[in-house]
Structure 1
Amino acid sequence: MITNTEVSRSGNQFPGKVTGYDHVVDTIHFHSDNGVILRLQVFRDSVLRFTYGTGGTMMPDFSYAVDEDTNRGYNKLEVEEHHSFYQITTSKVVCKINKSDLRSRIFDLNGKIICEDELGFHFEESYENGGEVVKMSKKAQPGESYYGLGDKPADNNMRAKRFELWGTDQYAFGKHTDPLYKNIPFYIGLQNKVAYGIFFDNTFRSFFDFAQERHHVTSFWAHGGNMDYYFIYGPQVESVVSAYTELTGKPEMPPLWALGYHQCKWSYYPESNVKEIAAKFRELQIPCDAIYLDIDYMDGFRCFTWDNEKFPNPTQMIADLKADGFKTIAIIDPGIKVDPEYSVYKEAMEKDYFCKRADGPFMKGKVWPGQCYFPDYTNPEVREWWAGLFKGLIADNKLSGIWNDMNEPAVMEVPNKTFPDDVRHDFDGHPCSHRKAHNIYGAQMARATYEGVKKYIYPKRPFVITRSAYSGTQRYTSSWFGDNVATWEHLSIANIQAQRMSLSGMGFAGSDIGGFAEQPTGELFARWIALGVFHPFCRVHSSGDHGDQEPWTFDENVTNITRKFVELRYKLLPYLYTMFWQYAEEGIPMLKSLFVYDQEDSQTHYRNDEFLFGDKILVCPVQEPNAKGRRMYIPRGEWYNYWTRKIVNGGREEWVDADIDEIPLFVKSGSIIPRYPVQQYVGEKNIEFLTLDTYFKLGSEKSIIYEDANDGYDYKKGRYSLRNLSFKGKEKEIVISQFKDGKFITEYETVRFNFIGLPFEIDFVEVDNVKMDLDELRYDIASQTMYVDKNFNELHIVGK
């Protein structure tokens, strides 16, 4: 029989018996008799960090993912020694560490098991690469479900599946393709209606097995580095996501225009074509805020240059587009063309900023410009240099944003599609090979890009989009899901990916609407637009090889449907902006899978299609051709069909009609949904009044509305407007209370209440205890609307 202190046949080694511990402030070190050390840090009462060292040492403590400004601190921390274990108690959880082998068990304060080691930490010497393969296995409880890991295309619930994290350029990926572009080593476990999270902060190639190999075991491991993970206790799923987002960093508010509709193609050129596309949007009155320039705007694909034949005066073109309400965004890739006459190449060579192979030569690989060298974005000096390169594009040419692509990093015409393992990186003063830096290379490029855009676009807010990412990248950038395909399956995949990204702390994300590869039918494009307007990032993008994919390239019906849904998104911009503020302020996911919305209902645990857009709006895309509707699960509670205004009681599955120009869409009863007038672009119109769609309910419901200047940083100085609205409905009475916060003064002076489902005829109305004449409130009995001063404290409506 093999004991834990011996080497097993597979080469695994395990911690020995604990010989003692030391406790300093928030950190406890447990030492074992074979040199394994467990460092347990109490970050917060509900967040514990487990880091293991071998050979009697701990590796240097450094993380790109954990935000330096994350909140730390706890209300309670007690360490007790018992006969067979040590017990660490906070105000949220109890953790027991076995004296025999350092295995951990975590309980809630009522003694219910939340998360329990199976074999626990173990490791294996890596003869080929040096270092160790570090492993952790935990017991998979009966009925336990698992979610997260970023934009994996598989179903939401990961039970009985295995995944790999190794950023890979996966053109035309499918539902079972793995790995993909992003590396988000964070998952949520949900069992017995209690949720917890695990964030495995290790940038090496890593794997997660959710009870696939052994049905009662969940495990994760990496081909090097530390076994360094954070346990996050809920018990609510939303609380886990919020705590993880707090740990890895929350985003800034984007400019409001970034939440509008964006149009992209590989590629719009020359300048006349870009202007023609923009003019067509305005002619057809389809709202649009941004036009993208793909790689063909450059001189021979050299980054930070312009093709003077295609774009003879880019600054003037960008100014002309801006005058018509369009922001211009351009692509920048990491590959720098090997060209002694090219200024970016020459400067990087002079300053020794390119990645090198182990024996000294530069890392050379083929990308769009041909043979390229690649900056080492893990070097802070290189990041600062890279940020400075954006002066021309942002400060001089006046681009409004930058789009980072190919940053996995992708290399063409090589079997592994990326750098060899022996490429060396600075890793912020912790020199390493590409094995360690690969999964964060794209994230550090996006970070450097963000710093440059932010510097030169100030006092406005930066907008950056990236294809590759690691945990924490949400601090710098939005993202999209890469090179998808114009198929019905990919419409379904996009729906799942958007939910998973919100669940994984990177909510500002979306798919290439309509599909990047191949050509969608008009029906597929219409259904995809209907879904895409409910994703935080909303962009149509296509390869252009198979035909154009602008809204007017199908038929008049599809054009009209596109306009209808894009207009709906623009109406809902104050609601979406409020969602984003909750995400940026509290880490609350913008899209919520049904199990996030109601984890107590086991019927939600395996649902993929339905999701909550914010807190109040339920969406379910139609994902099959020739459909006139679909069956969907409506969560518990009372919901209004957005199109028919019919009330539905949830907690069951039912058929919902949705022809080609509709999407199953429901609003939670009692909700107050803010709405702007339709604009062709953000800022086109003055907002004369804010419409508040108010859905009647017998009972109470709370809603919030966040507004600021829509750009700039005054909101961080308190210049924002936050309305906390409380709805209380009775059979013949409504009371709506408002509590206001913030110093921002909105341009409108009134709000227009639009009552939906009002079950009585209004007798009289009091505003702040003053009885008002209905004519003075411009009450319209047919539309059930009235106008009230925006600064009201209480609106009291009494029926006859």
Structure 2
Amino acid sequence: MNLGQNQISVQQFPDTVQSWKRDGYTFYFYCTESALEVSVKSDKVIRFRYSPESIFQRDFSYSGAHNYEGKVKALDIKEDGEKFTICTAFLDIVITKHRLLVTILDKEGKVVIDDEKGFHWEEHKDYGGEIVMMSKKVQSGEHFFGLGDKPTDLNLRGKRFELWGKDTYGFMKNADPLYKNIPFFLGLHHKIGYGVLFDNSFRTFYDFGFERKNVYSYWAHGGEMNYYFIYGPELMDVVETYTNMTGKPELPPLWSLGYHQCKWSYYPEKVVKNIAAEFRKRSIPCDALYLDIDYMDGFRCFTWNKDYFPDPKGLTTELSKDGYKLVVIIDPGIKIDKNYWVYQEAIEKDYFCKRQDGPLMRGSVWPGKCNFPDFTNPEVREWWSGLFKGLIETGVRGVWNDMNEPAVFEIETFPNDVRHNYDGDPCSHRKAHNVYGMQMAKATYDGIKRFLAPNYRPFNITRSAYSGIQKYSSVWTGDNVASWEHLWLANVMCQRLAISGISFCGSDIGGFIETPSGEMYIRWLQLGIFHAFCRTHSSGDHGDQEPWSFGEEYAELAKKTIELRYRLLPYLYTTFWQYSKFGTPFLRPLTFLDQNDTETYFRQDEFGVGDNLLVIPVTQAEADGRWLYLPSGVWYYFWDDERFHGNMEVWAEADLNRVPIFVRAGSVIPMYPVMQYVGEIELKELILHAYFYIKSHTSVVYEDAGDGYGYEQGHYNVRTFNTSGSDNQFVIEQSVKGEFIPTYHTYAVNIHGLAFEPRKCEVDGQEVAFTMENQEKNEIKVMVPIHFGKLVIS
């Protein structure tokens, strides 16, 4: 493998095990000089740490994975000739005495992963320490997924990647590296899924059969060979486990799942007010408006340009009355200015990063010459969090962290010799680079929450990230381009982020650079409304990009599209609750919906949203429909209720008025009436759309106040709907857990696709009236009290 410049490959390997010991759930194997630590974190999660010199480094990671402790039901070890076998309830881990080669098998004896060279290393000639390496055999028919925001095909087989956060303006397909550093990937072969978290923050590389077709490998230019193996066998289970290991997010405020409008830049305040007024005048829903760097005084963080925004508090108050939340940008660079209070404090407290020999790290970004806080220092993070007091008291409700790879003009990023605290383990930028942006986001999140809670929940977005970022922030895919290729990339990148534990993601709808056509904007919007983070953003250099910027025809289409987002909010919020509760990804690639169907392995346009929706965006110009692949099951076309069987390709009619959406048969989909912003109207009824199916199916609906922390005291409801059907009957049964009291008392139940002509409707044994919505398709509507237990249509 190519290890980088100025490196001579003198690879070293463990020799033979001389001794071993067991300490609870951890096993140690000692060779003449090197050692292996195997920790059984659960019956399905095994951690491997290798040391060339039998000295293990401090057990710490910003991912938080080192603190994970799952359930271990059974554990044993056997020594047999030239190998050891560690046995859990689901796995057998075979370790050879010579070279410490590892093979992991399931209980049927199927190989899941198998070392090729296994662990090996070589001295880093430039910086000292070791380049730590791992290589494994590619199994027959194996496929790979994950690694965060890589702008390439969903399936990673045959590709090679680097993790080293980089400001990549106008990136194109296959650009690498990019903004985020997510060292987690999934493997799938013989319908068995697994995952690997290589928890190392140094510059890291992955090769999935690029250099040698039958070998995949990963290596880092420092630190430990420290990886976690996560067994499925279901891919969805792997992602859930990984997300639980690295941290689940808390529930965001419901408004953050609404539509957001942004531009570089909206100023002065008159422009912001005009944009806000235009949304309401046109009845186009919108919950959040953004201020980019021009709102600041000379781009100084935590300040306001008084010429552009003479009364920030007045502005946020006025916007709030009309249903808007204001989100402002904050970058890491602090302008070198002895009269600037943030700079003064950081200098006095010695909070800026330094070069190796003592000078402060200095680089040019938007304010000009800047110094940069060391966000790996917990004391600096605490200070940074406190800086948000003024913004929050002004009425700001969200913060947008940008340029935090960290990006520096002219030299791209910090030099390698910059020093960091690394939470008490001082190091160079080589180790801290990939976590810098994440720790800035953590400090920002803590600050927003400190001054908003308990009445409100924090909202934060970040461009750079490391594993575990989902605990602190949403993300977007960076400075994209208004092109059909980038529309396609936005789809794939957000799917990849979701299966990498980061579901609160989206793209700059319409493209940040250049200007889309009206058609492209609408198609992008039709994708974006199904991402958890839904924001139009543009550079503004080539024209405006508000929904009405492309003419009245497209304004009406944008209005209809965004209205669909708001109608689906209770479903999307439920899906986010599943993510925050269980670690279940918000977006689910087709392979993750049906990994037993090999036809899904190279499909990447289709994706699931939650349990019951399938979306297939149109990513080509002048299309009036598209071919797509349906996974197993029975599916209804959302727009006309045509029913399809899965495991086959179908054609979906989709002119510019619609995006192909399919609903899983048997499901119950909650919807709101159209609203202009979250909380605008007091709900009088919750709309439920139930889809007939001959088999049983379960759907859930989660609800709470949409903000604040009452849900932590039980003020929430989880409504479970079980449906079942036959040739002459359709049954919906409901159970409810929780203590939240909603404003509505009635369900408007719309039942689609009945296989029989309905004659009677009973609610808890009492006959009630219903209306026929579509005689030809046997679609009915019935009003039902929210406390019902059983609804029977016959």
TM-score, normalisation: structure 2: 0.98
Structure 2 distance, partners of 1:242, 1:734, is: 33
Structure 1 distance, partners of 2:614, 2:340, is: 52
Moved more, 396-405 or 54-63: 54-63
> How far has the Cα of 1:743 moved from its partner?
1.2
Q: Which residue matches 2:688? A: 692
Structure 2 distance, partners of 1:364, 1:293, is: 26
Contact (CA 8 Å) 2:587, 2:610: kept in 1 or not?
yes
Deviations 1:184-235, CA, capped at 9 Å, x for gaps: 0000000000000000000000000001100110000000000000000000
> How far has the Cα of 1:68 moved from its partner?
7.2
Structure 2 distance, partners of 1:17, 1:398, is: 64
Deviations 1:662-705, CA, capped at 9 Å, x for gaps: 11111111110000111100000011111110111111111000
- Asked if residue 588 in structure 1 is aligned to residue 584 in structure 2, the reply is yes
Pick one of 83, 86, 92 that aligns with 1:85. 83
SS at match of 2:236: helix
> How far has the Cα of 1:713 moved from its partner?
1.0
Contact (CA 8 Å) 1:183, 1:469: kept in 2 or not?
yes
Q: Which residue matches 1:410? A: 407
Structure 1 distance, partners of 2:600, 2:793, is: 37
- Asked if residue 227 in structure 1 is aligned to residue 215 in structure 2, the reply is no
Pairing of 1:450-489 with structure 2 (within 5 A) = 450-459=445-454, 460-489=456-485
- Asked if residue 304 in structure 1 is aligned to residue 291 in structure 2, the reply is no
* Closer, same or farther: CA 292–716 of 1 in aligned 2, 3 Å: same
Q: Which residue matches 2:650? A: 654
Contact (CA 8 Å) 1:633, 1:652: kept in 2 or not?
yes
Moved more, 615-624 or 447-456: 615-624
SS at match of 1:190: strand
* Closer, same or farther: CA 57–69 of 1 in aligned 2, 3 Å: closer
Q: Which residue matches 1:197? A: 195
Structure 2 distance, partners of 1:633, 1:780, is: 30
Computed over aligned residues only, the root mean square deviation of the Cα atoms, in angstroms, reads 1.2
Q: Which residue matches 1:632? A: 628
Query: In the alignment, residue 567 of structure 2 is paired with which amino acid?
Result: K
Structure 2 distance, partners of 1:282, 1:374, is: 40
- Asked if residue 20 in structure 1 is aligned to residue 19 in structure 2, the reply is yes
Structure 2 distance, partners of 1:697, 1:68, is: 45
- Asked if residue 47 in structure 1 is aligned to residue 45 in structure 2, the reply is yes
Pairing of 1:136-151 with structure 2 (within 5 A) = 136-151=134-149
Query: In the alignment, residue 623 of structure 1 is paired with which amino acid?
Result: T
- Asked if residue 622 in structure 1 is aligned to residue 622 in structure 2, the reply is no
Pick one of 730, 746, 749 that aligns with 1:750. 746
- Asked if residue 609 in structure 1 is aligned to residue 605 in structure 2, the reply is yes
> How far has the Cα of 1:56 moved from its partner?
2.4
Q: Which residue matches 1:429? A: 424
Q: Which residue matches 1:399? A: 396
Pick one of 520, 527, 530 that aligns with 2:523. 527
Contact (CA 8 Å) 1:450, 1:464: kept in 2 or not?
yes
Query: In the alignment, residue 17 of structure 1 is paired with which amino acid?
Result: T
Query: In the alignment, residue 559 of structure 2 is paired with which amino acid?
Result: R
Contact (CA 8 Å) 1:721, 1:746: kept in 2 or not?
no
Structure 2 distance, partners of 1:574, 1:160, is: 40
Pairing of 1:205-284 with structure 2 (within 5 A) = 205-284=203-282
Query: In the alignment, residue 397 of structure 1 is paired with which amino acid?
Result: T
SS at match of 1:276: helix
Deviations 1:567-619, CA, capped at 9 Å, x for gaps: 00100000000100110010011100000000000000001101011111111
Contact (CA 8 Å) 1:139, 1:217: kept in 2 or not?
yes
SS at match of 1:662: coil
Moved over 3 A (4+): 67-71, 777-783
- Asked if residue 671 in structure 1 is aligned to residue 685 in structure 2, the reply is no
- Asked if residue 773 in structure 1 is aligned to residue 733 in structure 2, the reply is no
Deviations 1:256-292, CA, capped at 9 Å, x for gaps: 0000000000000000000000000000000000000
Q: Which residue matches 1:32? A: 31
> How far has the Cα of 1:719 moved from its partner?
1.4
Query: In the alignment, residue 401 of structure 1 is paired with which amino acid?
Result: G
> How far has the Cα of 1:557 moved from its partner?
1.3
Percent same amino acid among aligned pairs? 54
Pick one of 533, 540, 543 that aligns with 1:537. 533
Structure 1 distance, partners of 2:728, 2:68, is: 48
Query: In the alignment, residue 473 of structure 2 is paired with which amino acid?
Result: T
- Asked if residue 762 in structure 1 is aligned to residue 761 in structure 2, the reply is no
Query: In the alignment, residue 445 of structure 1 is paired with which amino acid?
Result: M
Matched pairs, number = 784
Moved more, 440-449 or 607-616: 607-616
- Asked if residue 438 in structure 1 is aligned to residue 422 in structure 2, the reply is no
Unaligned runs of 5+ in 2: 1-6
Query: In the alignment, residue 446 of structure 1 is paired with which amino acid?
Result: A
Structure 2 distance, partners of 1:758, 1:234, is: 37
Pairing of 1:155-166 with structure 2 (within 5 A) = 155-166=153-164
> How far has the Cα of 1:26 moved from its partner?
1.2
Moved more, 62-71 or 399-408: 62-71
Contact (CA 8 Å) 2:60, 2:66: kept in 1 or not?
no
Deviations 1:146-176, CA, capped at 9 Å, x for gaps: 0000010100000000000000000000001
SS at match of 2:237: helix
Contact (CA 8 Å) 1:779, 1:786: kept in 2 or not?
no
Unaligned runs of 5+ in 1: 1-7
SS at match of 2:595: coil
Contact (CA 8 Å) 2:771, 2:780: kept in 1 or not?
no
Structure 1 distance, partners of 2:649, 2:759, is: 39
> How far has the Cα of 1:73 moved from its partner?
3.2
Structure 2 distance, partners of 1:173, 1:346, is: 37
- Asked if residue 288 in structure 1 is aligned to residue 286 in structure 2, the reply is yes
Contact (CA 8 Å) 2:460, 2:473: kept in 1 or not?
yes
SS at match of 1:436: helix
Deviations 1:638-666, CA, capped at 9 Å, x for gaps: 11111121111121122221101111111
Contact (CA 8 Å) 1:260, 1:570: kept in 2 or not?
yes
Q: Which residue matches 1:183? A: 181
Q: Which residue matches 2:10? A: 11
Structure 1 distance, partners of 2:85, 2:140, is: 25
Query: In the alignment, residue 422 of structure 2 is paired with which amino acid?
Result: F
Contact (CA 8 Å) 2:166, 2:405: kept in 1 or not?
yes
- Asked if residue 736 in structure 1 is aligned to residue 732 in structure 2, the reply is yes
Deviations 1:761-790, CA, capped at 9 Å, x for gaps: 32222222x22232xx67767661101111
Structure 2 distance, partners of 1:644, 1:752, is: 19
> How far has the Cα of 1:70 moved from its partner?
3.9
Pick one of 644, 647, 650 that aligns with 2:640. 644
Structure 1 distance, partners of 2:450, 2:593, is: 38
Contact (CA 8 Å) 1:335, 1:367: kept in 2 or not?
yes
> How far has the Cα of 1:66 moved from its partner?
1.6
SS at match of 2:760: strand
Q: Which residue matches 1:65? A: 63
Structure 1 distance, partners of 2:254, 2:792, is: 33
Structure 2 distance, partners of 1:16, 1:322, is: 67
Structure 1 distance, partners of 2:226, 2:641, is: 51
Q: Which residue matches 1:4? A: none
Pick one of 594, 599, 614 that aligns with 1:598. 594
SS at match of 1:506: coil
Structure 2 distance, partners of 1:587, 1:105, is: 28
Moved more, 743-752 or 518-527: 743-752
